[in-house]
Amino acid sequence: MNTHKSEKFHAKTETEGNVCTVYLIGELDLSVAPDFRLVMEPLVGDTGLDLVINLKDLKYIDSTGIGILLSILKARHGMDVKFTVTEVPGHIQKLFDMTGISKFFAPQENSH
Amino acid sequence: MSDDVQKVILQLPANAEYVDIVRLNLYGIASKMGFTYEDIEDMKVAVSEACNNSVLYAYGQEDGLVDVIFEVGPGALSITVKDEGESFDGLDTPDNRLTLHDKELNDVQVGGLGFYLMQALMDDVSVVSEAGKGTVVTLTKRLNFSEEKV
């Protein structure tokens, strides 16, 4: 298990078989966006992994964070490999619905 | 409560590290005014997006300052985010083009969601941007007493 820490945000990575789950904890905003990108960089390109991002402990996300999720979606979609976002808290789901990113997180988009 | 508008003014470095300080102050002021949890969450996102714009676009690599003015009125909270850097362009784009609702994943551009979120989450948004004189964004949320009457 790898732990990447900064004061208000950290990402915890757990790998079980070929499923890699990244737990986002705290506040994902502009100031920690580079940390998040750094954590995700080696994982996004790994076609042997089923990549899951778990948001249950994410307290806050801004458009920068949503933008990073979108780039991951695009990259994984382009490689035709799995990417799922799970346990989205209500107030974050609201932002996903508002911006229109939710439809790309829908199960049918990721289940093939 | 008096009808006077009371002001709380914050001045911060235009640096991403300080945007959470704005959110903390907003939380304090908005909860004192009696806003609901959901309204406070909405305002946190909108105000942070306004600050992000100043941090990202106003001063380039140079140091600069962002003023955040909270105006506490009897029925509404207005938050003004002001910088004196480069003006913020791209405001002429119709809102619907900034969202992803009508797009396929391959056509999606990353970015441009911040301004849309401000408009979607607040009751009023005004942006005044003058070349060389910076940008002033004012965001207003009205208190809704319809459910809990004082």
| pLDDT (0 to 100) of residue A64 | 93
Distances (CA, A) of B46 to A8, A63, B121, B137: 19, 10, 6, 10
| pLDDT (0 to 100) of residue A109 | 42
* pTM, 2 dp: 0.85
Within 10 angstroms of residue A42's Cβ, the number of other Cβ atoms is: 10
State the Cα–Cα distance between residues A99 and B119, nearest whole angstrom.
Answer: 11
Provide the percentage of residues in chain B whose pLDDT is more than 70. 82
Residue B106: burial class (beta carbons within 10 Å; 0-12, 13-18, 19+): exposed
Query: Given A77, A91, A109, which is nearest B41 (Cβ)?
Result: A91
Minimum distance, in Å, between the CA of residue B53 and any CA atom of chain A? 10
Beta strand ranges found along B43-150 (DSSP E): 65-72, 76-83, 124-130, 134-142
Q: Is B3 helix (H, G, I), strand (E, B) or coil?
A: coil
- pLDDT band at B94; cut points 50, 70, 90: very low
The residue behind tokens 């948001």 is: A55
- pLDDT band at B148; cut points 50, 70, 90: low
- pLDDT band at A18; cut points 50, 70, 90: very high
Query: Given B45, B102, B108, which is nearest A62 (Cβ)?
Result: B45
Chain B residues with CB under 8 Å of A73 CB are 105
Q: Is B65 helix (H, G, I), strand (E, B) or coil?
A: strand
| B110/A71 touch (CB, cutoff 8 Å), yes or no | yes
Minimum distance, in Å, between the CA of residue B4 and any CA atom of chain A? 32
Minimum distance, in Å, between the CA of residue A19 and any CA atom of chain B? 23
Residues 80-99 of B with CB under 8 A from A: 99
Average pLDDT for B76-88: 89
Average pLDDT for B77-98: 71
Q: Answer yes or no: is pLDDT of A87 > 60.
A: yes
Q: Which one-letter amino acid corresponds to residue B31?
A: S
Residues 1-60 of B with CB under 8 A from A: 16-17, 19-20, 23, 38, 41, 44-45, 48-49, 52, 55-56
Chain B residues with CB under 8 Å of A95 CB are 45, 117
- What residues form DSSP beta bridges with A10? A5, A25
**A67 to chain B: closest CA residue:** B110
**A28 to chain B: closest CA residue:** B20
Strand order across the beta sheet in which B134-142 lies? B6-13, B65-72, B76-83, B134-142, B124-130
Question: What number is the ipTM of this complex?
Answer: 0.82
Question: Is B118 touching A (CB cutoff 8 A)?
Answer: no
